[in-house]
Amino acid sequence: MFFRANTRDKAQEKGVKGWVKNLRDGRVEAIFEGPENRVDEVIEFCKNNQPHARVDDFEIKEEEPTGEFDSFRIKR
């Protein structure tokens, strides 16, 4: 839970929209949408500064923004 909650809090702080969720295999998936510099800040936080969470590997896939998000939330 820590990774998802920390990610949500940081994304909301930076004004980034999207979601974060746990996958069945233990990985976490997230979509970030917003100003590039703010999205980059959230990504760096996820990679390097997650309190109470362990990050073993990180993969980034860039896509064109869709504008479909109005907030950032934890998806269940």
Catalytic amino acids? Answer: 4, 22
| SS3 label, residue 57 | coil
Q: Are 8 and 73 contacting, i.e. CB atoms less than 8 angstroms apart?
A: yes
Which amino acid belongs to residue 35? P
Dist. CA 69–CA 33, nearest whole Å:
8
